[in-house]
Amino acid sequence: MSTTIRNTEPQTLWNHFADLNAVPRPSKKEERVIQFMVDFGESLGLPTVVDEVGNVIIKKPATPGMEDRQTIVMQSHLDMVHQKNADTDFDFDKQGIEMFIEGDWIKARGTTLGADNGIGVASIMTILSSTDIPHPPVEALFTIDEETGMTGAMGLKGGLLDATIMLNLDTEDDDELTIGCAGGVDVTGTGVYGQVDTPENMQGFTLSVKGLTGGHSGMDIHKGRGNANKLMNRILYQAANTFGLRIAAIDGGSLRNAIPRESFATVAVPNEKVDGFKKFIAEQTTILTSEHATTDGDMQILCNEVDAPTHLAAADFQTKLLRAVYACPNGIYRMSPDIEDLVQTSNNVARILVKDGTYSLQCLTRSSVDSEKMDMANSIKSAFELLGADVSFSGDYPGWTPKPGADIVKVMNDLYSEMFDGKANVNACHAGLECGILGTNYPAMEMISFGPNIRGAHSPDEKVQISSVQKYWKFLLETLKRIPLKA
């Protein structure tokens, strides 16, 4: 990593970010980063505890003159989404993120950057390690597993925190103050299927849909970006009906909270249909790249001849599978009738794996209305059950109900106008923030979420804007000075 990043202002924040990014921290494998945070807190001589699920809490007294202010929680999550480009050789379990500066942005080489939520974590570390930053009593809460189930937030018990205000540092636009978010539920369909020997008169092919933009399945779902799983299914469905294509395997997408960028399939086509099939793929490439030219300008559809696979999925299963995936909704289901431009309910067809007689279909359904979230989940469940899948719901978490009249909202909204000569965008978002979950055990706590400009989160295109971090940092420091007095 270039030392230039460590010399960027604010230097302490960027140095903490660089130290954090040297620690592998995939969701559900946070042991190393938990120990990193414990060592950090103890090195400062601050009370540091790890709760029963792995969340780290570090408490710091108020600076002189700030003892009469309300205690605040500063909260961010320790884990990060691990995504890389197909041609990037990188082991997330062993390597630290390789960062570089390009203009006003910090990026990673072929992988996710971890600015989500590493900038928030580094910000809190900077407050904890400071000797000259005025602040009220601080309870730093570092949660685990936000990206793949929010189990850290779900496992945090009441009574561990004394604060009356929470500053969640996990949004991606520096002019936004977020005061509400969507809830979510994972929908998974699994099962087994029969296989048959591949007839001798068939030619094997590998199909690839790749190069899509991808992105965050909550924050970016309204942008109309292509979903590689749905596009692959569209191709396979038509080719099966027209050319007798048979499926041997499908491997598409990765994480539930990432819009799928790639999908790969191994198939076979009767020899007498090969020429027509190749022409069809060329036609589909033209059609689909044209449809997605604005949102996914680097999309590729590749078709390569290979040896025919030895086994194929049974024809009846293939027919039901392609129809089930086609029927499964993807993208926006409903916009909010109450908050302008807010996606209320959506679904991301995140992962499809069909291989060696077993299959898994994975979705993440989001909504700021819990009843509508479950209605959509049941719709998806019904489609998958028609395939014969065993369908389960997991990781269900609530939304966060906006409280626009909260004191901290007024303080920060007024402060933003004062500092930046413009109005903040006070809103709710379609992403899943931890505030709604944390609020179940701390219902009286006022909460607000903010952060710097981060683009391409959950994809290898992730980047964070240096000038925006500087703006956000000044805003955070001034906010700490203006935390209301204790009641």
Q: Which helix (H) or strand (E) holds 138?
A: strand 138-143
Please report the DSSP string for 245-273 in residue order.
-EEEEEEEE--TTB----EEEEEEEEGGG
User: In the chain, what's the furthest Cα-to-Cα distance?
Assistant: 84
CB 247 within 8 A of CB 359: no
User: Could you give the CA distance from residue 88 to residue 376 in angstroms, rounded to a whole number?
Assistant: 36
What the block records as the tokens of 57 is 């809490």
Q: Assign 3-state DSSP to the chain and report helix, strand, coil percentages, each to 5.
A: 30, 30, 40
406, 399, 417, 415: which is closest to 448 by C-alpha?
406
* Active-site residue (options: 79, 220, 461, 462): 79
Between CA 244 and CA 201 the distance in angstroms is 12
Interstrand relation of 463-465 and 105-108 (parallel, antiparallel or unpaired): antiparallel
Helix (H, G, I), strand (E, B) or coil at 392: strand
Helical axes 11-21 vs 31-43, angle rounded to 10°: 140
**How far is Cα 206 from Cα 232, in angstroms, rounded to an integer?**
12
Helix axes 11-21, 115-129, angle to 10 degrees: 120
Omega before 117 within 30 of 0, i.e. cis = yes
Beta bridge partners of 334: 345
Q: Environment class of residue 345 by beta-carbon count within 10 Å: exposed (0-12), middle (13-18) or buried (19+)?
A: buried
146 is catalytic: yes
Spatial separation of the C-alpha atoms in residues 28 and 209, rounded to whole Å: 29
Catalytic member of 145, 146, 174, 296: 146
Burial (CB count within 10 angstroms: exposed 0-12, middle 13-18, buried 19+), residue 200: exposed
Whether omega before 484 lies within 30 degrees of 0, making that bond cis, reads: no
CB 152 within 8 A of CB 146: yes
- One-character DSSP codes across 55-123: -EEEEEPPPTT-TTBPPEEEEEES-B---B-TT----TTT----EEEETTEEEESSB---HHHHHHHHH
Sign of the CA dihedral running 109, 115, 118, 123: positive
Catalytic amino acids? 79, 146
